[in-house]
Amino acid sequence: MATKQIKPITPGQRHRIAPVFDDVTAKKPLKPLTKGIEKSGGRNNRGRKTSRHRGGGHKRKVRAIDFKRDKFDVPARVQTIEYDPNRTARIALIAYADGEKKYIIAPNKLQVGDTIISGENVPPDLGNALPMRNMPPGTFIHNVELSPGKGAQLCRSAGTVAQMVAKTDKYVTVKLPSGEVRMVLGNCIATVGTTSNPDHFNTTKGKAGRNRWLGRRPQTRGVAMNPIDHPMGGGEGKASGGHPRSPWGQSAKGLKTRNPNKLSSKFIVRRRKTKKAK
């Protein structure tokens, strides 16, 4: 997958860097694995707006993705590579030997016709899913579970990859894309390889309307508001607004909000790399 620079015949195309869909092999999803979705527009059950900057967007259908990969020792053949509007990575339709079909997150360089399998002792080849305790150290993985049987929670977006760097009797040590190094139970399942569509990071939207298609409404800067509407509002002329903070007074630059007593902190070997607050 690559990107393309469009000849700017409109202002919105001037700085647009668009994705190329050469890797997509099907135009429509498999109907039994799709369903409609109702959007809330950021409103709760009383109709009150509880999440700002949401609303509109193109109509979508949800594809049922198999994040568990718990159909063990049954080979599956890749039938199509498809675009999913609900995520940045591509998805792959796989057909198991017994006839069942499922969608999975497509690993990078997975091709139509390839055979993949999940199980306890399957080889750590591209697209195969197995417990991390059975992988050799140094294996690049994605779709990483945090709790056995819960399904993948980490490294699911486009171009992301983690690395299994070490293992003990019970735990394996995984280096995540953020730079964080943490311990995960060895019987958690992960998929070998990198997620597809790595050039997603190189694309640019080019115009505000493209955000509206994605269901994102405009944001107003706090310094442009009145003092009653935002802690950073008010002032004469172009005032800076004081200390950066949210509309509810939460400091926005550098304040640590993670609970120091959080249970999962003991599994973190090294915290992620963070930028210094200015």
Are 242 and 79 in contact by the 8 Å Cβ rule? The answer is no
From CA 234, how far away is CA 225, in angstroms rounded? 6
Residue-level pLDDT at 276: 54
Residue-level pLDDT at 92: 97
Is 205 inside a domain boundary? no
196 with 223, same domain: the answer is no
244 with 163, same domain: the answer is no
Residue-level pLDDT at 238: 81
Residue with token string 């107003």: 220
Q: How many domains does the chain have?
A: 2
Across the range 99-113, mean pLDDT stands at 96
Given a cut of 60, whether residue 277 has pLDDT beyond it is no
127 with 246, same domain: the answer is no
Across the range 2-17, mean pLDDT stands at 92
138 with 30, same domain: the answer is yes
pLDDT tens-digit map of 209-235:
999 999 999 999 999 999 999 999 998
pLDDT tens-digit map of 167-212:
999 999 999 999 999 999 999 999 999 999 999 999 999 999 999 9
For the chain, what is the mean pLDDT?
A: 93
Per-residue pLDDT band for 20 (boundaries 50, 70, 90) equals: very high
Per-residue pLDDT band for 278 (boundaries 50, 70, 90) equals: very low
68 with 129, same domain: the answer is yes
The identity of residue 42, as a single letter, is: G
The identity of residue 112, as a single letter, is: V
Is 210 inside a domain boundary? no
Residue-level pLDDT at 32: 96
The size of the chain, in residues, is: 278
| Domain finish residue from 140, 165, 200 | 200
Across the range 114-133, mean pLDDT stands at 96
163 with 195, same domain: the answer is yes
From CA 244, how far away is CA 253, in angstroms rounded? 7
Q: Is 175 exposed, middle or buried (0-12, 13-18, 19+ CB in 10 A)?
A: middle
| Domain finish residue from 149, 173, 200 | 200
Is 184 inside a domain boundary? yes
Is 213 inside a domain boundary? no
Residue-level pLDDT at 170: 94
The share of the chain scoring above pLDDT 90, in percent, equals 89
193 with 245, same domain: the answer is no
30 with 118, same domain: the answer is yes
| Domain finish residue from 139, 165, 200 | 200
From CA 214, how far away is CA 156, in angstroms rounded? 19
The pTM assigned to this predicted structure is: 0.90
Is 206 inside a domain boundary? no
Is 240 inside a domain boundary? yes
Is 251 inside a domain boundary? yes
177 with 70, same domain: the answer is yes
User: What is Dmax (Cα atoms) for the chain?
Assistant: 71
Across the range 78-92, mean pLDDT stands at 96
Residue-level pLDDT at 162: 97
Residue-level pLDDT at 1: 55
From CA 35, how far away is CA 32, in angstroms rounded? 8
227 is in which domain, residue-wise? 219-269
DSSP string, 205-229: --SHHHHHHTTB-----GGGS-TTT
Per-residue pLDDT band for 241 (boundaries 50, 70, 90) equals: confident
Is 156 inside a domain boundary? yes
Residue-level pLDDT at 242: 87
79 with 189, same domain: the answer is yes
64 with 150, same domain: the answer is yes
From CA 70, how far away is CA 189, in angstroms rounded? 9
Kindly report the CATH number assigned to the domain that includes residue 236: 4.10.950.10
Kindly report the CATH number assigned to the domain that includes residue 136: 2.30.30.30
76 with 192, same domain: the answer is yes
